[in-house]
Amino acid sequence: MNKNIVIKAENISKQYRLGQVGTGTISHDLNRFWHKIRGKEDPYLKIGETNDRSTKGDSDYVWSLRDINFEIEQGDAVGIIGRNGAGKSTLLKLLSRVTKPTTGNIYTKGRIASLLEVGTGFHPEMTGRENIFLNGAILGMTRKEITRKFDEIVDFSGVERYIDTPVKRYSSGMYVRLAFAVAAHLESEILIVDEVLAVGDAEFQKKCLGKMGDVSKGEGRTVLFVSHNMTAVKTLCNNGILLENGTIKYIGDVNKSIIEYNSYKKSTNHSAIFSEISDYSNNNFKLTKISLIDNNNKELEEIDENTDIFIETNCEILDNINRYHLSFVFKNSENLIVFTSHNSDKPLKYGANKVKFEIPKNFLNIDNYSISLYIIQNKQKALLYEEDFLSFNVLESRKDLGSWMGKEPGFIKTNFEWYNE
């Protein structure tokens, strides 16, 4: 293993039998044992279904992870992302040696401190003080080394008043505060954190992210971080691993990982045709079609930074008394509003309308975007709100060799006029 590689996973897979410990039956256990002593492959590795929670399976065996391969270098901060049930927590348990893989090998270099769920590694009958020393001892630290870190841990956790109280009497928030402080401050080479930080308040979450940043960038330790908060992942991590149904869908730059996550979570859709039923057609209006088109009025197939985007709306206003306008809301992969655009100063006319507006090239950054629509009556009442009805990816355009590659900082790119005086 390369001297800079601290974690290496080779073809690791994890299989579970639903509802059972072991294989669930004596005959299955004996069959597995008989194959093992004869040097044969486990017969139950040949069966099993992908861990897709959206479908009902027929097999009792499920692959929580399947054929996972990656290498992580010292000092890397890696965000592990994916939907619920993708295998993120299972992967962290394997890396932390809480459970062993069904197949494959994991190689690690250095001590691992992990925070997988509330109370991991804590004995409920022991006090906070005793648990700090217990966790340090498990990591192989001497009592003197732990004592040197003790005040820093207690100060960071903010539970000084209750440090000599058994942790079973702690609230879930206090538990997490102390557990994170212990994991982050004790001298391990690898820090593994699952999405338990969701238990803490916003201020403590910010404090934890800051500490993990210091651990990775300042101290050169390796951090593996699981979260559904893409902003936190983007802030803390430089690389990402995207899991889907127990397999790696993408591994690489964290920004591209997040874009990939959002693009498969919400597939791209450049055109929406609305039916004449329910909300899209009533006594006031009839919404027909909205699409992303190019300069030649053709529907866009692929969009990059250098693409001019036109959003065209076909609708009919059936009410000649009130005034109506459209309002579009654009959100990025982190579900943050990038900008809005509306035609309130040029309301829709009575009868058929075909209106469009332009998003100029080199305005949107590389990312995945969704569009939501409001139809507003008399600038005050929303008659229709359709969320995320269109979505598209802005890809990186081809650039000259030697120029800046990748996504630029910020939500949008501006092209302000500069003057020399």
Give 47-83 as a DSSP string. Answer: --EE--TTS--S-SEEEEEEEEEEEEETT-EEEEE-S
- What is the Cβ-side half-sphere exposure of residue 107, based on CA atoms within 13 angstroms? 14
Residues 6+ apart with CB under 8 A from 332: 338, 365, 367, 368, 369, 411
Beta bridge partners of 386: 373
At 48, is the pLDDT very low, low, confident or very high (cuts 50, 70, 90)?
Answer: very low
Please return the burial class of 86, using the count of CB atoms within 10 Å of its CB with bins 0-12, 13-18 and 19+: buried
Give the model's confidence band at 277: pLDDT under 50 very low, under 70 low, under 90 confident, else very high: very low
User: pLDDT: is 71 or 1 the higher one?
Assistant: 71
For the whole model, what pTM was predicted? 0.60
Which pLDDT does position 56 carry in this prediction? 47
Percentage of the chain surpassing pLDDT 90? 29
Q: Which residue has the higher pLDDT, 217 or 99?
A: 99
Q: Is a pLDDT exceeding 60 seen at residue 63? A: yes
- The Cα 230–Cα 227 span in angstroms is 7
* Non-local CB neighbours of 418 within 8 Å, separated by 6+ positions: none
In this predicted structure, what is the pLDDT of residue 248? 93
> Of all residues in the chain, what percent carry a pLDDT higher than 70?
81
CA atoms lying within 13 Å on the CB side of residue 60:
10
CA–CA dist 404, 302 (Å, integer): 22
Mean pLDDT of 272-291: 76
Least confident of 7-11, 46-50, 214-218: 46-50
Q: Check residue 9 and give its pLDDT.
A: 93
pLDDT score recorded for residue 32 = 63
Residues linked to residue 112 through DSSP beta bridges, in sequence order: 190
Cα(122)–Cα(56) distance, rounded to whole angstroms? 37
What is the three-class DSSP state of 327? strand
Compare 370 and 173 and report the one with higher pLDDT.
370
Asked if pLDDT for residue 360 goes beyond 60, the answer is: yes
Q: Which residue has the higher pLDDT, 105 or 259?
A: 105
DSSP result, 224-279: EEE-S-HHHHHHH-SEEEEEETTEEEEEEEHHHHHHHHHHHHS--B-EEE--SSGG
Tell whether the model's pLDDT for residue 131 goes beyond 60.
yes
What is the overall mean pLDDT for the chain?
82
Of 281 and 163, the structure prediction assigns the larger pLDDT to: 163
pLDDT of 155 above 50:
yes
| pLDDT of amino acid 187 | 74
Query: What pLDDT, on the 0 to 100 scale, is given for residue 404?
Result: 61
Q: What does DSSP assign to residue 346? A: S
pLDDT at 49 over 50: no
Q: Would the pLDDT of 419 be above 60?
A: yes
Q: Which domains does the chain have, with CATH numbers?
A: 5-263 (3.40.50.300), 271-394 (2.70.50.60)
- Judge contact between 328 and 388, C-beta under 8 A: no
Eight-class DSSP state of 345: T
Residue 144 pLDDT > 80: yes
Question: How sure is the predictor about 107, in pLDDT bands with cuts at 50, 70 and 90?
Answer: very high
